[in-house]
Structure 1
Amino acid sequence: MRDTAHGPAEGQDGDVVLGDDFVAPEGVVEEEVRARRARRGISSLRSSPLTRKIITFNLIALNILVAGILYLNSSRDGLVLQRANGLVGEAELVADVFEAQLPTAAPVNLMTGDGIDVEQTLAGLDILKGAEVFVFDENGTLAGHVVGQMSRNENGSKDQPTLITDALSVLWGWVSKPFISQSPAVSRSVEDTVRAQVPKVLKAGTQITSGEVADGAVFSVATPIEHNGRAIAVVALVSASGEIDKLVMAERERVLQMFIIATLVSIGLSLILASTIAHPLADLAAAAEVGGARNRGKHGNGRIRIPDLTARPDEIGRLSGALRGMVGALYNRIDGNEQFAADVAHEIKNPLASLRSAVGTMRVAKRDDQREKLLDVIEHDVRRLDRLVSDISNASRLDSELVKEEEEPFDLLTMLRNLGQYLGEEAKGKGIDFITDLPKDSIVINGLEARLAQVFVNLISNATSFCEDGDAIRIWARRRENRVLVVVEDTGPGIPDQALSKIFQRFYSQRDASDFGNNSGLGLAISKQIVEAHGGVIWAENIRPTDADITSDPLGARFVVGLPV
C-alpha cells in the first residue's frame, strides 16, 4: 500500500481591520451569530463587562493623575511667591511717593499734617479694587487708610469664570460639613495685624505677612518711610481678600477643563478599543455557545463554525485561527472515526457472510469431504476475523498511545541494523538477498523508537511477502540537511499504477487471490499514521530505469520514509 498525501496549503491575504469593520466570508459564521451582530450597536457595549473594565481602568489612571496635580498644588506656591514679590514692589513705590513729598529741612508730623497731607497723597494713588493701604506713624498710630477702587479690567486683566471649581467646592462643603467643628474661630482684623508689624519694620525694614479673613487669604507688605535717613512711618499694602484663592481657582479651573476633555477623549478611545476586543470575542463566544446548544439538541443539528478573524494581526486573530484549527481537527477526528467505523463494519461483514454461508451449507452437506472443506473455510474465516479484530484494536489505540508516550532521542541507524539482522534471516530463508546500506556515523532523532520500528518492520515484511526466490531487498538511509531519508526497496512485481493512490488507505490490499484473507490491509495505514505523528512523510513509487518508458513494467517497489532530525 503506497501513496503520498499532500494537503493544500491554505492562506489568506487581506487588509488589517479592526472590530466591527471586519466582515467574515459568507457562510463562515452561523446564522445566529450574524443575527446577533446585525442587532448589535454601540449600546451593546454597555452590557459588556470587558468594556466597563477598560473604561474604568482608563478613568482611574486619569483621575489619579488629576487628583495628584490638584493635591500637590504647586501652582499655588508659585502664585503666592509671584504675588508677594509684586506687593513688595508696589509698597516700596507707595513709600517712595511719600518720601518724595517730605520736606528736607522741616520736621514732619503725619498725624497733624505737618510736612505732608497723608489723605491727599493716598487719594492720588491707583490701587486695585479690594486692596488696602495703611499709613502708621512711628508710634503705630493710623495716620491714613484707603481702599482701592480700580477694577481688574482697567488694569488689563479679566476675571475668569470658575464654574467647575465653584460647583466642586460647594459639593465638597456639603460632604465635609458634618465633619467640620462648629466652634467659632478667633480672627484678628487686617489693621491690627499690620499694626503689630510696625516696630519690626522700623528696625529691620520691609516685612511680608499673611493671614486669613472671612473672604480668604490675604498678604500684606509693610515698608518704612524714611526722612533724612531715619524711618519715621510705615506704609502697608494689603492684597485684596481672596485674591490668591481666585488665582488658584482659575488655575484649577483650567486643569479641570482639560480633565473633562481628557475624560471624554479617554471614554471615546476606550469604546473604540473595546469594540475591537469585546465584539470579536463576543462573536467567538457566541459561535461556541450556538455550537454547544446545537450539540445539546436545542437548535437542531449543525457544526460549530468559528468566525474567521485571522486577518487581524493581533492575539484575537491568533485565537480565532487556533480555535478554527482545533474545531477543524476535532471534526476531522470525528469524520475519521465515523469512516473507520464504517470500514470496520464493511470488513467484518465479509467473513461473517462467508461464515453464515458455510454454516448454512454444512447443514445440508452429506459427504464427509464436503463437511471437511466447509470446516476449513470456517476455520480460515475465524482466523481472518481474529486477525482483523486484533489489527482494528491496535489501530484504534494508536492515536491515544502516540499522544501519551514520551518521545526520546535514539540512534536510528542502530535500530535499522538490528531490524535488518533479524528480518534478514527470514528473507534469506526464502532465497531473497537482503542488503543494508547505512552510513557509519550515527543519526540521532527524537521520537518513539518502538513505534518507528513497527513502521520499518511492516515495510520490510511487506517487501518480503511480495518477493520470490532470487529477488532482493535493499535498505539504505541518507541524511539530507535537517531530514533523514530511509528507503526500503525490492525487486518484486512492483505496484499497479492505479493502486499507488490507495495503498495507504485502511483495509486496502493488493494481493493475489491465493493470499486473500491473510492481511487486514491496516499495516501501511498504521505506518503512515505513525510517521506523520513524528512530523515525517511516507510515500511509495515504482522503480524504473532512468530512460525507461513509463508504461513499461516496473523493476520493483520503493518505500521512502522522511523524518525530521
Structure 2
Amino acid sequence: MDTSCNRFFFAFFIGYYYFVDKIEDSIRPRYMETVEESLNDTVHLLASLLEGELSQKNDSLEKTSERIFSPMMRIAKERDLNSKIFEITKKKVDLQLYVTDSRGIVVYDSEGFKKGSDYSKKNDVYLALRGKYGARSSLLFGSEKGLFIAAPIRSSGKIVGVLTVIKPKKSLIPFIESTRKKFWNLSLYVAVSIVVLFISILYFLFSPIRKLSEYISALRSQKRVPFPKIGVPEIRGLGEEMDRLFRELAGKEYVENYVQSMTHEIKSPLSSLLASSELIIENPDRLESLISNIQLEGKRIQTILEKLLELSSLENLPQLEKTPNLNLQDVVRETAASTISESVRKKIKLKELTETVWVEANSFYLGMALRNLVQNALDFSNPGSEITIRCGKENGFPFLEVEDYGPGIPSYALERIFEKFYSLPRPDTGRKSSGLGLAFVREIAKLHDADLEVKNGNPVGVRARIRFKRNFQVKN
C-alpha cells in the first residue's frame, strides 16, 4: 500500500475518532434528557393526584401529602423488582419526592430528613411556584447527584405548593455506560466495515490497473504473456487499446530492425555472388570453384531467410501448446539420434548424461532448441573432442544443457551472442552462420518460461543451459 493510502487511512481514523468522540460525549446529555422527559410526566401525574385529594377534602397540604405518599413510597421501596431492563437488572425503586408549601418550606419528604427545610431558593421550587418549569441537577448525599423535576400544586386556581420528583443519577450510570459500550462497539464495527469496503473498492479498481501495468511491463521486457483477465469493462477496453497500440509500435520497430539487420547480413553474400558471377565471365578456367562459392553463398542466404521465418513465427506466438508430461530424457535421446551422423562425420563424440525429469513443454520446439545448441557445439568443437548433453534438476528446477570443449567464446563477443545476425567464424571453414540460432533458442526458452544461459567453461569450451523457472509435478 503506497504512502497516499497510508495518509488517507490516517486522516480517516483521526476524523472518524473525532466524530465518534463527539457523538459519545452527547450520549449522557441525551440520556438525561430522556429521563427528564419521563420524570416530567411522573411529577405531573403525582401532582394531579395530590390536587384531586386536596379538592375533595379540607385537609392541609402536609396531611394530604402524608396520607397519599407515605404508604405508597413505603410499599414501593419494599418491593423486590428484579426487573431485567435489557442487560441491566433493576432491584429496587430509587425514586424520591418531596412537597413544599407556597412559601417553599418542605412539608413532606419521602426520605424523612428534608422536612422543614426552606427550599424556596432552590431552582425547581422557585420556578414552579411562579408557574414555570422547575428543574435542577444537584447533590443528594456527599458527591452523589440527582435530577430534580418539579410541578406546581394548584387548589382553587392558585399555586399552593410544589411537588418535586428526584432521580439519583447513580441509577442511570449502568444504562449510560452500557449504551456507550454498545456505541463504541458499533462504531468500531462501522469503521472496520468502511475500511474493508474501501480496501475492496481499491482492490476492485486497482487490481485491474496493476495487472495491466504488469502486462505492459512484461511486453516491454519482451516476455511472452497472455492479456490478463480484467473484470472492469472500462479498464479492460483501455488495456486492449493500449495493447494494440503497443503491438503496432513494437511491430513497426521490429520490422525496421529486421529489414536493417537482414539487409546488412544479406549484403555480404550477395556481393560475393555478384563478384563470382562476374569472375565466371572473365575467368572461365575457375568455373568450378566460382560455382561452388555461388552455391555456398546462396545456401547461406537461404538459411538466413529460413531462420528468419522460423524466428518471426515464434516471436508472434503469445504461447505454445504444451504436453503436460514431457520427459527431458526423451528430448535428449531424440536430439542425439538426429545429430549422430554429423558428429560421426566430424569425429566428435556425443555423450548423454540424463535422468528422468518431467516438464510441461512443447516437444517439437524444445527439440529444435536443443538441436540448435548441439549444432553450435558441433560447429565450434575440434575433431576428436566430446560434447555432453545433460538433463536434470538443480535446486529443484529442471534444465537442459549442452557442453563442448572447443575454443570458447571471445570476451568481446559474450555480450552480443544473442543479437540477431551476430555470428562468429567457424574454426574449420572460417565462415559465419545466419546468426539467428541463439536468438531462436532464446525465444523458445521464453515461451517455456525458461532462461537461456550461455557461458564459457572452465578452463575451455562453452556451456549452454535452458533452465526452467518452476518445478513441475507429474500430472495424471
Aligned to 1:551: none
Kindly state the Cα deviation for residue 483 of structure 1 after the two structures are TM-superposed. 1.1
Q: For residues 290-309 of structure 1, what are the structure 2 equivalents within 5 Å?
A: none
Task: Work out which of the residue numbers 366, 370, 392 in structure 2 matches 1:452.
Answer: 366
1:356-391: CA deviation from partner (whole Å, max 9, x where unpaired):
4444555xx255334555444433333222211111
Determine if the alignment matches structure 1 residue 465 to structure 2 residue 389: no
Letter aligned with residue 535 of structure 1: D
1:271-320: CA deviation from partner (whole Å, max 9, x where unpaired):
xx9xxx9xxx9xxxxxxxxxxxxxxxxxxxxxxxxxxxxxxxx7599479
Q: Counterparts of 1:422 and 1:78 in 2: how far apart (Å)?
A: 98
Determine if the alignment matches structure 1 residue 558 to structure 2 residue 463: yes
Aligned to 2:131: 150
Determine if the alignment matches structure 1 residue 346 to structure 2 residue 264: yes
Task: Work out which of the residue numbers 89, 106, 110 in structure 1 matches 2:46.
Answer: 89
- Corresponding pairs, count: 317
Alignment check: 8 A CA contact 1:487 1:558 kept: yes
Task: Work out which of the residue numbers 498, 501, 505 in structure 1 matches 2:415.
Answer: 501
Kindly state the Cα deviation for residue 393 of structure 1 after the two structures are TM-superposed. 1.0
Kindly state the Cα deviation for residue 471 of structure 1 after the two structures are TM-superposed. 1.7
Determine if the alignment matches structure 1 residue 486 to structure 2 residue 443: no
Determine if the alignment matches structure 1 residue 527 to structure 2 residue 441: yes
Kindly state the Cα deviation for residue 488 of structure 1 after the two structures are TM-superposed. 1.5
**Alpha-carbon spacing, 1:477–1:346, altered in 2? closer, same or farther (3 Å):** same
Q: Counterparts of 1:353 and 1:378 in 2: how far apart (Å)?
A: 10
Q: Matched residue of 2:350: which SS?
A: strand
Aligned to 1:17: 3
Q: Counterparts of 2:396 and 2:381 in 1: how far apart (Å)?
A: 33
Letter aligned with residue 150 of structure 1: G
Q: For residues 24-423 of structure 1, what are the structure 2 equivalents within 5 Å?
A: 82-97=39-54, 100-101=59-60, 150-152=131-133, 155-156=135-136, 318=210, 322=214, 325=217, 328-329=220-221, 330=246, 333=250, 338-361=256-279, 365-370=281-286, 373-401=289-317, 403-406=319-322, 408-423=324-339
Q: Counterparts of 1:320 and 1:445 in 2: how far apart (Å)?
A: 29
**Alpha-carbon spacing, 1:467–1:513, altered in 2? closer, same or farther (3 Å):** closer
1:144-192: CA deviation from partner (whole Å, max 9, x where unpaired):
xxx996223x5559xxxxxxxxxxxxxxxxxxxxxxxxxxxxxxxxxxx
Unaligned regions of 5+ residues in structure 1, if any? 1-14, 23-61, 63-73, 105-122, 127-146, 158-265, 282-313, 546-553
**Structure possessing the higher relative contact order (Cα contacts under 8 Å, 6 or more residues apart):** 1
Alignment check: 8 A CA contact 2:328 2:391 kept: no
Q: Counterparts of 1:494 and 1:373 in 2: how far apart (Å)?
A: 32
Q: Counterparts of 1:499 and 1:519 in 2: how far apart (Å)?
A: 15
Q: Counterparts of 2:312 and 2:406 in 1: how far apart (Å)?
A: 31
Unaligned regions of 5+ residues in structure 2, if any? 9-18, 20-30, 64-100, 105-127, 138-190, 222-245, 472-476
Alignment check: 8 A CA contact 2:332 2:390 kept: no
**Alpha-carbon spacing, 1:557–1:349, altered in 2? closer, same or farther (3 Å):** same
Q: Matched residue of 1:401: which SS?
A: coil
**Alpha-carbon spacing, 1:85–1:341, altered in 2? closer, same or farther (3 Å):** farther
Kindly state the Cα deviation for residue 544 of structure 1 after the two structures are TM-superposed. 3.3
Alignment check: 8 A CA contact 1:507 1:521 kept: yes
Q: Counterparts of 1:560 and 1:434 in 2: how far apart (Å)?
A: 16
Alignment check: 8 A CA contact 1:384 1:517 kept: no
Once the two structures are aligned, what percentage of the paired residues are identical?
22
